Copies of this chain bind each other. A is one copy, B any other.
Amino acid sequence: MSKKEALLKAAENKVRLGGYSNFSFRELASEIGIKSASVHYHFPTKADLGAELAHQYTNAFLNALGSPSEHLANGKNPIEVYTQLFRSALLFDKKMCLCGLLGAESDSLPEKVRFEVKRFFNQNLEWLTEAHLANGEQQPKHAAIQTVSLLEGAMMISKTLDDNSYFELATQPA
């Protein structure tokens, strides 16, 4: 893993626990064994680092998702696959969704960071709309926003109350 990748990984861990202001160039540098001045070589400003972090997080997330049609071809419900990706973040990473946290503090973020967070949700809604449509539902856009809202909210509350059973309860069909 390159130093740049290591910096992004360290930043991701911090942001997913406490938001954009929860990391500093000095901390990241110290963690990977360089000096803060060197971090500026890889990322001119903090906003640049934040934006690239959100961009790569989005790409990795979409990549892990695959495509709705692929899951259908394998006999899997794409909405279940999507839910499982959120569940993994909560259970294994034990951290919030990066863009869920950044989205909540959206109003105070540098413009280029906010732009990447918007991209995350627009892409997610697109994917979910296709998935709900493929499931034969009547209002796929409607269902898409409900799905992602429920998962982001359930994740936040489970972390807050420190009890993953809230996530399970929220995602369990009535």
Residues on A lying within 8 angstroms of B by beta carbon are 17-19, 21-22, 95-96, 99-101, 103-109, 114, 117-118, 121-122, 138-139, 141-143, 145-146, 148-154, 156-157, 159-161, 166, 169-170, 172, 174
Contacts and interface: CB of A to CB of B under 8 A. Distances in A.
Please report whether the interface of chain A is mostly helix, strand, loop or mixed according to DSSP: helix
Number of identical monomers bound together in the oligomeric complex: 2
A125 to B, nearest CB: 8
B108 A100 contact: no
A18 B107 contact: yes
Contacts of A142: 169, 172, 174
Contacts of A149: 149-154, 156-157, 166, 170
